[in-house]
Amino acid sequence: MDTADRVREHTDQEVNQRIDSRMAERIREYAQADPAALSARMAELDREWDVERLLETNASMLAFTGLALGVLRDRRWLLLPSIVLPFLFQHAIQGWCPPLPVLRRMGFRTREEIDREKYALKMLRGDFEIPTGLPRAEAALRAIYA
């Protein structure tokens, strides 16, 4: 199972549904947008930090800070990396760690979720053929979940 699936599996279904609903709303809003607006949104998505990147950055920052303070100030600061690093390891193995539910509730998405939105926007922009018989946004939404 890949990381995106593990994160979604360990996320409350209500939170997953809220993240998916927000994405669907954005796709419906952009269904009538011009190609320049779609390209601008895709550029924003390229810059969006996924939950994995945020977890890795925060864990390494906290571990480094604890190590530096432990060496320079007080050895008790060494407890910080000894707490943070096992959480990072747990996330690498299981796809879950204590900060993950908080970050997901804040709306941080997996790279796969971000890429789904980008793919739908590419369909709306005309990069791919959209099946006839459905509104453009609905066809794009069906394609990303197929």
pTM for this prediction: 0.89
Domain count, the chain: 2
Q: Which two tokens stand for residue 7?
A: 């994160």
Query: 25-84: per-residue pLDDT in tens?
Result: 999 999 999 999 999 999 999 999 999 999 999 999 999 999 999 999 999 999 999 999
38 and 58 inside one domain: no
Query: What's the CA gap between 8 and 12, in Å, rounded?
Result: 8
57 and 73 share one domain: yes
Do 40 and 63 fall into the same domain? no
Q: Are residues 61 and 38 part of one domain?
A: no
Q: Are residues 41 and 56 in the same domain?
A: no
Distance, in Å, from the CA atom of 116 to the CA atom of 133, rounded to the nearest integer, reads 22
Of 101, 2, 4, 1, the residue nearest 52 (C-alpha): 4
Domain boundaries, position 143: 1-48+109-146
Distance, CA of 136 to CA of 130 (rounded, Å): 7
